[in-house]
Amino acid sequence: MNLKQLITPKNEDGSVDHRYIPIAQSIVDLAGERVEAQLRKLYAATTNLEKESASAGLQLVIALFSIPMDERFERSKFKKHIREQLQEIGFKPSKVSKLMGAGEFYADYSSCTFNSDFDLESTEDEYNEKRERFLGEYFNNISKLYELSRMNGTAIHRVSTDLARDNKVYSQAELEKLRQIYPKDVYERRGRKPNRHHVQETNLLPSVVTHESLKVMEDAAEENVTRQPESAHSLISRFFTLVASGVIEQRLAEYTPAAQAHLIDEIKTGITLLEDFVSKNKTVEVTSVN
DNA sequence: ATTTAGCGGACTCACTTTTA
DNA sequence: TAAAAGTGAGTCCGCTAAAT
C-alpha cells in the first residue's frame, strides 16, 4: 500500500492522473510518516481480520438459509439486510457475494434428503454418509463452495461421487472449469465482455439448443450445408467440440433412466451411420477416430 | 520451479432514480 | 414520460503469495 498512489485521482482507464501527483505528494508529506504508518496498519489489520472472519460470515449465512421462513418476503428481506450489514461490518462487496452464494449452497445441500427414485445406486445411510463427507471436505473453502453453488445438479453429483469413490478433491481451478461446462444459469452474461475469445463458446450454445435430439441435429446439419456452406474442417471440429464438452451427458442426465436408454440407442444408430460414411470415403485417406 | 489459492479491481448487466 | 445518470450485484482476470 502506497499512500501517495492511493490518494492520487485516477483517469477513466484507471491510470494515475499525472496532473495531481505533485499535490498528492504535498498532502502525504504534510500528513507525515506517522499518519501513513497508522493507515497502513489499519489496512493490514482489516485485511487480516476479514480473512480470519470469513468462516464466521459463512456460518451466519448458512444459518440464514437454514431457518424456515417465507421465501418471498421474509427471506429476501433478510438476504438484503444481512448483505448490507456484512459489508458495513467490513467484508468487501465481492466477498459478501461469495459468502452468500457459498452459504446458500451449503445450507441447501445439507438439507437434501435421500430419494430412492433418483438415487438408484445407494441406500439412505450411504447417501447421508456421502453427503456429510462432501460437506465436510468443502466447508473450509468458501471459493470452492461458491463455485459449486453456480453449477447444475449433474456437476455437483459428479464432484460428490468422485469424492466418495476415488477420494478426489477438486481444486478451485478444476471446479471453475467444470462450472463453465455445467453452469446452473446457462444465460448468465454478467461481468463478461461481449466478444473476445468467447466467440467460440457462444457459437456452440445455439447449436446445443437446436440439437436437443438427433433428428433435429440431422436436419440442422443439412440446412447448414445447403444454405450457407461451412467448411468440412469447421463442421468436424464443431462436432467433436460438442461431444467433448459433455453437454450431451448433461442433457441426458435430465431424462428418466428409460428415456436415457432410448436416446443412447439412437446414438448407437449414429455409429453405423458414421461407419458407412467413413467406408464410403475410404479413397480419401481417413485417419483413425480412436 | 511450477502450480494453486485467493484477493481486488475493472467491467457488465439489470434496476432504480433523477432530469429535462 | 422518455432518456440519462446512478447504483448494486456479480463475474472475469491479472497479480502476488503460498504451497508443493
Sequence letter at residue A160: S
Residue A175 lies in a domain: no
Residue A38 lies in a domain: no
CB A101 within 8 A of CB A149: yes
pLDDT band at A136 (very low <50, low <70, confident <90, very high): confident
Residue A126 lies in a domain: no
Determine the average pLDDT of the residues in A171-194.
63
Distance A247 CA to B7 C1' (A): 32
pLDDT in tens, A212-257: 333 233 223 322 323 344 556 556 655 665 665 666 666 666 665 5
Q: Cα–Cα distance between A179 and A234 in angstroms, integer? A: 26
A227: Cβ under 7 Å from strand C?
no
Residue A58 lies in a domain: no
pLDDT in tens, A113-133: 777 666 667 788 888 888 888
Distance A206 CA to B19 C1' (A): 41
User: Considering only CA atoms, which residue is closest to the C1' of nucleotide C8?
Assistant: A93
The residues with which A183 forms a beta bridge, in sequence order, are A151
* 235-264 on A, CB < 7 Å from strand B: none
Residue A41 lies in a domain: no
Number of domains in chain A: 1
pLDDT of residue A91: 74
Residue A156 lies in a domain: no
DSSP 8-state symbol, A72: I
pLDDT band at A158 (very low <50, low <70, confident <90, very high): confident
For residue A248, the enclosing domain spans 196-280
A142: Cβ under 7 Å from strand C?
no
Distance A92 CA to B8 C1' (A): 9
For residue A76, pLDDT over 80 is answered with no
**Long-range contacts: A55-60, Cβ < 8 Å, 24+?**
A55/A140, A55/A142, A57/A86, A57/A91, A57/A95, A57/A96, A57/A99, A58/A99, A58/A102, A58/A103, A58/A106, A58/A142, A58/A145, A59/A103, A60/A86, A60/A103
User: Considering only CA atoms, which residue is closest to the C1' of nucleotide B13?
Assistant: A190
Residue A251 lies in a domain: yes
Residue A53 lies in a domain: no
